[in-house]
Copies of this chain bind each other. A is one copy, B any other.
Amino acid sequence: MTTGSGDSGSGDLARLSLNQETVRQLSLPELCEGLTRLGVPGVGLWREPVQRYGPEAAARLVREHGLTVTSLCRGGFFTAEEPAARRRALDDNRAAVDEAATLGTSTLVLVSGGLPEGPGGKDLEGARERVAEALAELGPYARERGVRLAVEPLHPMYASDRCVVSTLGQALALAERFPAEEVGVVVDTYHLWWDERVPAQIARAGADGRIAAFQVADWVTPLPEGVLLGRGQLGDGAVDLRAFRRAVDAAGYEGAVEVEIFNPALWERDGAEVLRETAERYVRHVLG
């Protein structure tokens, strides 16, 4: 992994990655420039800004800055029942795999989708099974292109409208039906911190080579309306981030630690200042 060229302690920052939604006020060139200056070697990207910039151009830009793309967010939304909608979702996910391959990242993060409209609208088990069907269809396609599908369990508060995979246990149960080279899981502190089973599940995921990404954000309350944009800056909340990082390390994970915070208060500030603060918070609250 590139260790960056900045003067801000690149040793400490050797595993750090910044997910671009954390500082969405920055353009992709501004983000790359800012990360390089700080000595942050990794960046997590989202499809929409990458598509606007152009995937090839984005790949070139990131490469020229010596950055590694640690993940692309996101594919998924597999739970529709209607055949045409399912076909569209699979097509879109193949496009997401192609974009990940273009960017040179091996990790495509998947948000599985919520309960569907219609007769299956209360059938969590059925929706989870359709996620498995989609993984079966997409796994080989992704593998051929050097990309792994990374099932992200989202906090149970998103189970109805965003992601029927709510725990690391559920994500692993899905992933384990497929080769580890095709399907992994995302460990995100924001979604998993409340679950006492997680340390053992991280160990199991690590032993099986299933940890495709490790993302960090803190849990703060009160939650905002819609509960999407209320993640906390590292150290501001309830999560023992250091314990999480130690658990994934102990499980054998050697990849990036990707900071992904959705919070309008961060977006309103100077982006370079948020980058600096986030790197400092990472060293203080995640490392050590």
Residues of A within 8 A of B (CB): 115, 121-125, 128, 155-157, 159-161, 166-167, 170, 193-196, 219, 221-227, 237-240
Contacts of A225 on B, CB cut-off 8 Å? 222-225
Chain B residues with CB under 8 Å of A161's CB are: 221-222
Closest to A243 in B: B122
**When the two chains form the complex, which single residue of B122, B222, B226, B238 contacts A240, counting CB atoms closer than 8 Å?**
B122
Q: How many copies does the complex hold?
A: 2
> Among A159, A194, A237, which residue has the most Cβ atoms of chain B within 10 A?
A194
Cα A240 to Cα B122 with chains together (Å):
6
Instruction: Please give me the residue from chain B that is nearest to A242 by CB atom.
Output: B122
- Asked if B196 and A170 sit within 8 Å, CB to CB, the answer is yes
A159, A166, A223, A226, most chain B CB atoms within 10 A: A223
> Bound complex: CA of A51 vs CA of B160, how far in Å?
38
A155 to B161, CA, bound (A): 16
Chain B residues, CB < 8 A from A227: 157, 222-223, 227
Asked if A196 and B156 sit within 8 Å, CB to CB, the answer is no
Say yes or no: A122 contacts B238, CB within 8 Å: yes
Contacts of A123 in B (CB 8 A): 240
A125 to chain B: closest residue by CB? B196
Contact assessment for A194 and B224 in the assembled complex, using a CB-CB cutoff below 8 Å: no
Q: CA A156 – CA B193 in complex, angstroms? A: 9
Q: What is the CB-to-nearest-CB distance from A127 to chain B, in angstroms, rounded to a whole number?
A: 10
What's the Cα separation between A274 and B238 when bound, in Å? 38
Shortest CB–CB separation between residue A233 and chain B, in angstroms? 15
Interchain residue pairs with CB less than 8 A apart (26): A115-B238, A121-B238, A122-B238, A124-B194, A125-B196, A128-B196, A155-B156, A155-B157, A156-B156, A157-B157, A157-B223, A157-B227, A159-B193, A159-B238, A160-B238, A161-B222, A166-B194, A166-B195, A170-B196, A222-B225, A222-B227, A223-B223, A223-B225, A223-B226, A223-B227, A227-B227
